[in-house]
Amino acid sequence: MSYRPHPKILIMTAVEAEQQAVLRGLGGYEGAEVRLAGVGPASAAAATAAVLARAGQAADGGAYSLVLSVGIGGGFAGIASVGSLVVASEIIAADLGAETPDGFAGVDELGFGSPRIAVADELAARWADALREAELPVHHGPILTLSTVTGTAETAQSLAERYPGAGAEAMEGFGVAEAARQFGIPVLELRAISNAIGPRQRDLWKIGDALQALEQACAKLPEVLQS
Ligand SMILES: O=C(O)c1cccc(C(=O)CC[C@H]2O[C@@H](n3cnc4c(=O)[nH]cnc43)[C@H](O)[C@@H]2O)c1
């Protein structure tokens, strides 16, 4: 039996600014590694799979016991305001499918698998509870993954109707989650809201506020993981 180091959690962020916010929040916690996924689902899936493969992650366990996709994201109106947090109850590839005369058909409707990946639900609930106890604004609901940042009110409305209860959209979660799924590792996603989903108003993005919220959320992780 080869030596297996105590399993850690693998946290994937798209960019360095998010990675640094997570590290600040973790405050030297040694049970996690924070690695870069790049922007978008393809890069995130490849980067996550590469980390897991290099670590020799075996089907019966290995270097990592949990994978997280965390970062900034867009919030759905009336559910997740700028500066708040969304903990995923489910990770959904919201644009994986086909455009049809009758509207969008998801990959599941096309018969090619599922656009939904379940999360480690008890951990997700514990994290959301810990954030509420810290009086941080948090929504616990589906997080959408898209390859394109929503830029119109029409698309925002369409997504809200198609995925009721969804709190946020981002671009990496499903990629990270699919890599974790293929290695048999549970997954979580958290987004700190930098902008409202809808008409593109880049100058209204509050990335600094979102990074601060991300740091606060990750500061609660060690206690959540050890409880
Ligand atoms: O539209 C722009 O000019 C623009 C300016 C700065 C950043 C972007 C991005 O596309 C950032 C994508 C990056 O941030 C996450 N993110 C944050 N908010 C959203 C959103 O509303 N929808 C999708 N992704 C979002 C995402 O996960 C990426 O890592 C654009």
Task: State how far the Cα of 151 lies from the Cα of 169, in Å rounded to an integer.
Answer: 12
Identify the residues whose C-beta falls under 6 Å from ligand 1.
Answer: 14, 39, 71-74, 146, 149-150, 169-172, 194-195, 197, 200, 202
Task: Spell out the SS3 assignment of the chain.
Answer: CCCCCCCEEEEEECCHHHHHHHHHHHCCCCCEEEEECCCCHHHHHHHHHHHHHHCCCECCECCEEEEEEEEEEEECCCCCCCCCEEEEEEEEECCCEEEECCEEEECCCCCCCCCEEECCHHHHHHHHHHHHHCCCCEEEEEEEECCCCCCCHHHHHHHHHHCCCCCEEECCHHHHHHHHHHCCCCEEEEEEEEEECCCCCHHHCCHHHHHHHHHHHHHCHHHHHHC
Q: Tokens 């995925």 correspond to what residue?
A: 163
- The tokens describing 193, both together, are 């809201």
pTM of the model: 0.95
Predicted confidence (pLDDT) at residue 1 exceeds the cutoff of 70: no
Structure confidence at residue 5 (pLDDT): 57
Determine the structural domain holding residue 54 and report its residue range. 9-226
Pairing of strands 32-36, 8-13: parallel
Whether complex ipTM tops 0.85 = yes
Convert the pLDDT of each residue in 119-167 to its tens digit.
Answer: 999 999 999 999 999 999 999 999 999 999 999 999 999 999 999 999 9
Convert the pLDDT of each residue in 99-126 to its tens digit.
Answer: 999 999 999 999 999 999 999 999 999 9
| 103: in domain | yes
Task: State how far the Cα of 57 lies from the Cα of 33, in Å rounded to an integer.
Answer: 14
| 3: in domain | no
Nearest CA, atom 2, ligand 1? 202
| 1: in domain | no
Structure confidence at residue 93 (pLDDT): 98
Predicted confidence (pLDDT) at residue 2 exceeds the cutoff of 90: no
| 2: in domain | no
Structure confidence at residue 179 (pLDDT): 98
- Tell me the sheet residues that pair with 178: none
**Burial classification of residue 118, based on how many CB atoms lie within 10 Å of its CB (0-12 exposed, 13-18 middle, 19 or more buried):** middle
Q: Which atom of ligand 1 is the closest one to the Cα of 171?
A: 27
Nearest CA, atom 3, ligand 1? 202
Predicted confidence (pLDDT) at residue 74 exceeds the cutoff of 80: yes
Nearest CA, atom 18, ligand 1? 73
| 18: in domain | yes
Convert the pLDDT of each residue in 35-68 to its tens digit.
Answer: 999 999 999 999 999 999 998 766 566 789 999 9
Contact 85, 78 (CB under 8 A): no
Convert the pLDDT of each residue in 170-192 to its tens digit.
Answer: 999 999 999 999 999 999 999 99
Structure confidence at residue 227 (pLDDT): 82
- The tokens describing 218, both together, are 């990750």
Cα of 149 vs centre of ligand 1, distance in Å, is 6
| 185: in domain | yes
Structure confidence at residue 66 (pLDDT): 96
Structure confidence at residue 144 (pLDDT): 98
Residues 6+ away with beta carbon under 8 Å from 96: 106, 107, 115, 174
- Kindly report the CATH number assigned to the domain that includes residue 113: 3.40.50.1580
| 56: in domain | yes
Q: How many domains does the chain have?
A: 1
Mean of pLDDT over the chain? 95
Pairing of strands 64-75, 32-36: unpaired
- Tell me the sheet residues that pair with 88: 141
Q: Could you tell which of 171, 189, 202, 205 is best to mutate to test the pocket of ligand 1, judged by most ligand atoms within 8 Å of the CB?
A: 171
| 172: in domain | yes
Residues 6+ away with beta carbon under 8 Å from 84: 75, 136, 137, 138, 139, 192, 193, 213
- The tokens describing 40, both together, are 């978008």
